[in-house]
Amino acid sequence: MDKVTFKTIAENRKARHDYFVLESFECGIELFGTEVKSLRAGTVNLKESFAIVENRELFCVGMHISPYEKGNIFNKDPLRKKKLLMHKREILKLSQKVKQEGLTLIPISIYFKGSLVKVQLGVCKGKKLYDKRDSAAEKDAKREMDRRQKYD
């Protein structure tokens, strides 16, 4: 039995701060060779990225993969739209959720699964300012309780 190794390349921590993640999916991503080499070096930024459905295809917009240092003419545009790979029925299901319920598709993390690059895509609902304050207050309270338990 082969064990598949997971190696996280980058996480979008801002997504969990700004959105409620209702559901998450794993999808592949279509990349060029120099982009994969750049990912192995860990030079990717997910902060301002999101996913859209166009013509029954899923694309990631705003994901910045820095050009590979030794890639010269083979480097691609760091901010180009990258195609995400999922089954058609899953894409249609996501498309309907986004249209009807006003949800957003946000890449939560990007990682290696064996030799393949995968993206964890979250179906998210935006947080209001008071929701963010409540989350911060809960986090602080939990941290304080853990601290007191440790010393008692």
Superfamily of domain 6-127 in the CATH hierarchy: Small protein B (2.40.280.10)
Residue 27 confidence (pLDDT):
92
State the pLDDT confidence band at 2, using cuts at 50, 70 and 90: low
What's the pTM value of the predicted model, to 2 decimals? 0.76
- Give the range among 4-8, 75-79, 99-103 with minimum mean pLDDT: 75-79
Beta strands in 12-150 (DSSP E): 19-29, 44-45, 50-54, 57-61, 64-65, 82-85, 104-113, 116-126
Residue 44 confidence (pLDDT):
87
- For 2, 30, 135, the CA distances from 50, given in Å and listed in that order, are 33, 16, 22
pLDDT digits (tens, 9 = 90+) for 41-99: 888 888 888 889 888 899 999 888 888 777 677 677 777 888 899 999 998 888 888 88
pLDDT digits (tens, 9 = 90+) for 114-152: 888 899 998 888 878 777 788 888 888 889 888 888 776
Best CA proximity match to 90, nearest among 50, 46, 121:
121
Domain ranges for the chain: 6-127
Residue 152 confidence (pLDDT):
67
State the pLDDT confidence band at 40, using cuts at 50, 70 and 90: confident
Whether 15 shows a pLDDT value over 90: the answer reads no
